[in-house]
Amino acid sequence: MKRFWDEARTAEAEGGFAILLDGKPLRLPGGGTLRLPGLRLAEAVAAEWQQAGGTKGGEMRPEEVPLTRLVGTAEERIAAARDGTVTALARYGETELLCYRADHGKLAARQAELWDPWLAWAARSLDAPLRATSGIMPVSQPPHALAALRRAVERHSVLGLAALGVAVPALGSLVLGLAVTGGHLDPAEAHRLSTLEEVHQEALWGADPENLAKRAAAAADVALAARLVQLSAG
């Protein structure tokens, strides 16, 4: 869409902070006014809108306001369907990426070296001991471990759930997603851990440009999720 404003700034409002575009509040697609709970997050969202489209009359793309899109999803969708969001995210624990290993060879050794510490972290910090297997046969996880993972998801705020909702599918791992949103794991390192098999296969057979693009997009999603959590904390 065309940029119709000169200035984007924050303003105190009921329930937190609003974003004003030339003095008019930024509204969500559903018609409500966007409200941010903290000043740091509000300033970051305002900065997106100050830069988007360049100058008044310029062409603005949705990709220029990723934080806005994510907080909008939290406010309009997740807040109204919190339980469903928690359930959908918790289900990733049933097929946790870190639990499925190569049968043998260098990849299996690499997965054990880099993934076992995070399964140990889940067992120790989340009370969620998970079983690992090799090959393609599914492994059932202990019910108490899955219940513990659900509780870990439930402890997130609406904005935290929005961050998880981006990070977990991008990583294919609930454990890594929880480690990122909890501030225990750098988002770039989490993405690296989640792509061990892809990188291993590329070393053998070569890289595919489409896969590289998808991987870069996933890395950006994980970084965005971590940024939202950091900004929401202050």
| Rounded Cα–Cα distance for residues 102 and 111 (Å) | 8
Query: Domains in the chain and their CATH numbers?
Result: 8-78 (3.30.2180.10), 82-232 (1.10.3580.10)
Q: For the chain, 234 residues long, give each residue's pLDDT as a single digit of tens.
A: 899 999 999 999 988 999 999 999 999 888 889 999 999 999 999 999 999 999 999 999 999 999 999 999 999 999 999 999 999 999 999 999 999 999 989 999 999 999 999 999 999 999 999 999 997 789 999 999 999 999 999 999 999 999 999 999 999 999 999 999 999 999 999 999 999 999 999 988 998 899 999 999 999 999 999 999 999 986
* Under 8 Å between Cβ of 8 and 65: no
- Judged by DSSP in three states, 156 sits in coil
* Under 8 Å between Cβ of 161 and 86: yes
Output the CA torsion 180→186→192→193 (10° steps): -50
Radius of gyration (C-alpha) of the chain in whole angstroms: 20
Neighbours of 7 (CB within 10 A): 12
Which pair of structure tokens corresponds to residue 166? Answer: 């981006």
